[in-house]
Amino acid sequence: METNNNDELSKIVNSVNPQNQETDAVGDSEKQPEISKEEEIGFHKGALNTLVAERNELVKMIQNIEAIMQAHLKRLKELGVDIPVQQKA
């Protein structure tokens, strides 16, 4: 990742959203405690693990779709129907 993106991500993670601030009985807003570096690292690692698993499932879905499409194309070709293949840009 670029340093700029890391800086922006750090600002987002460490910022306190005014809508999420807790207020005490007097009405003063309290800042939420900042999370420790270890907790933040764990958060990001967990997010990446989840996203990798989601990406892997998406790849499996695409492979299944491609296999089904190829089977249909093969059968159409057997039936004498020629489907032009679109070239990737």
CA distance 73 to 83: 7
Give the residue ranges of DSSP H helices in the chain. 3-14, 37-78
47 is written with which tokens? 């997010």
Torsion-angle region of 34 (φ positive above 0: left; ψ -120 to 50: alpha; else: beta): beta
Q: What is the pLDDT of residue 45?
A: 97
List the domain boundaries for the chain: 36-80
Could you tell me the pTM of the whole model? 0.52
Q: What is the pLDDT of residue 2?
A: 47
Query: Any long-range contacts for 9-17 (C-beta under 8 Å, 24+ apart)?
Result: 13/40, 13/43
Q: Give the chain's residues under pLDDT 70.
A: 1-30, 89
CA distance 65 to 62: 5
